[in-house]
A and B are shown apart, each in its own frame.
Chain A
Amino acid sequence: MRWLRRLWPEPPPESEAEEAEEPEDTEETGPPAVERAAPGIAALFHELEPDGTHAVLDLGPAARTHLDIYSRYARRIRFADLLGAPARGENWATALQALPSGARELFDVVLAWDLLDRMSPEEHPLLVERLAGLTSEGALLHILVNASPDRPPRPVRFTLQSLERIRHEPEAHPWPTWPPLLPAEVERVLEPFHVIHAFTLRLGYRAYVAVRREEE
């Protein structure tokens, strides 16, 4: 039966097998990095002409794949890494102020990732007001919100892999203690951005694409 053993190698001892499948801190950090569909991103870029004339503001950290994707559409790209503000010891208000002034640079695409989830309810208007000042009429905003009880125990870092795929990677620190932003509240908070697409994703995330429109 040796030939059979060669085809079906002996399983590792039980303890080892468990270790291999379940990393020590799985419960704390949530599932390992995974790649998932990104319908919100696809919808966002579907709204744009790939003519290289747009201006993109990414509030997350710079990434090679992001630059590769944005550069098909945009001539100007800014990586503000607002998400990294707490790690740099900056509070949100300071980090928001450090963004360039709208008089100097206006954007027509903004990727805000899950910033709303990381900020207190009092800070939400600061973010949206600042983004409104940095964008032109018709600008598009992509944002992710997770108010689900099933949300992963830690925030996720999102990295685009393509226009339709995104990598979710759990971060080291836990969620802030703010109450989650319920879907019904999102549209109100995002004014003057109006939601034009919303997608329910796995792990309780919802992706929103909103367009900046002044009230009629």
Chain B
Amino acid sequence: MWKKDETPSSPPATPKKEESPAPSRPAPPPPSGEQRATIGRSITIRGEVRGNEDLLIQGEIDGSVELEKQAVTVGEEGKVTANITGRVVTVEGFVEGDLKAEERVILTSSAQVQGDITAPRVVLEDGANFRGGIDMGVPGKESGKADASSSQESGRDSGPTKSSGTAGGSGDGSPSSSDTRKDAQEKSGKAKV
């Protein structure tokens, strides 16, 4: 029997966890190609992964992943020993390697990451296990103002505030967001000391 939402253009075997805002229904595919490929649990790849589709990794990759304009997600069962480059890189599983994203890197609560992150915005959820460096000064990029966009984020607190510098501060800000940003201001002086 014909079903309303079954159309020839719908992507085959769309994974359950749809994270990217990319349309997964009959809309015409955007030029960059918004379908998401999946590397399944039983797949192991040694080498270089490149392409023009978003990618969900549930298997193992040992090498490199370069999808500069795409969203790359390392699923909860994914195990990647590689540097990953993407537009948005989301990690729910294990990564040993550097993460580089044009827009943002998101480490969810189940993420285990050892490596360096380069992205203008980084989201670190509670429970994420991360060891490494974060560089938010991506050369050539405009500074991004804070915008709470992850579902885990409910907005930032009051932003840069100068404390009194004395004991017993009572201001109890409630940080709620880890969506970080870089400021474009370049000042030569570091500490005022």
A168 at the interface (CB under 8 A from B): no
Residues of B close to A77: CB separation below 8 A: 133-134, 136
Known contacts A50-B160, A71-B136, A164-B163; is-contact A65 B189 (Cβ 8 Å): no
Asked if A199 and B167 sit within 8 Å, CB to CB, the answer is: yes
> Please, which residue of chain B has its CB at the minimum distance from the CB of A136?
B190
Query: Distance (Å) between the CB of A167 and the closest chain B CB?
Result: 12
Query: Distance (Å) between the CB of A139 and the closest chain B CB?
Result: 7
B166 at the interface (CB under 8 A from A): yes
A211 at the interface (CB under 8 A from B): yes
A119 at the interface (CB under 8 A from B): no
Total B residues in contact with A, Cβ cutoff 8 Å:
48
> Please, which residue of chain A has its CB at the minimum distance from the CB of B157?
A162
Asked if B131 and A80 sit within 8 Å, CB to CB, the answer is: yes
Asked if B169 and A164 sit within 8 Å, CB to CB, the answer is: yes
Residues of A that sit less than 8 Å from B by CB = 37-39, 42-43, 45-54, 61-65, 67-69, 71-73, 75-81, 84, 100, 105, 108-109, 136, 138-140, 161-165, 196-197, 199, 211
List 14 extra interface pairs beyond A50-B160, A67-B124, A165-B169, CB under 8 A.
A37-B169, A50-B161, A53-B185, A62-B129, A65-B178, A71-B180, A75-B183, A78-B133, A79-B131, A108-B191, A161-B174, A162-B173, A164-B170, A164-B173
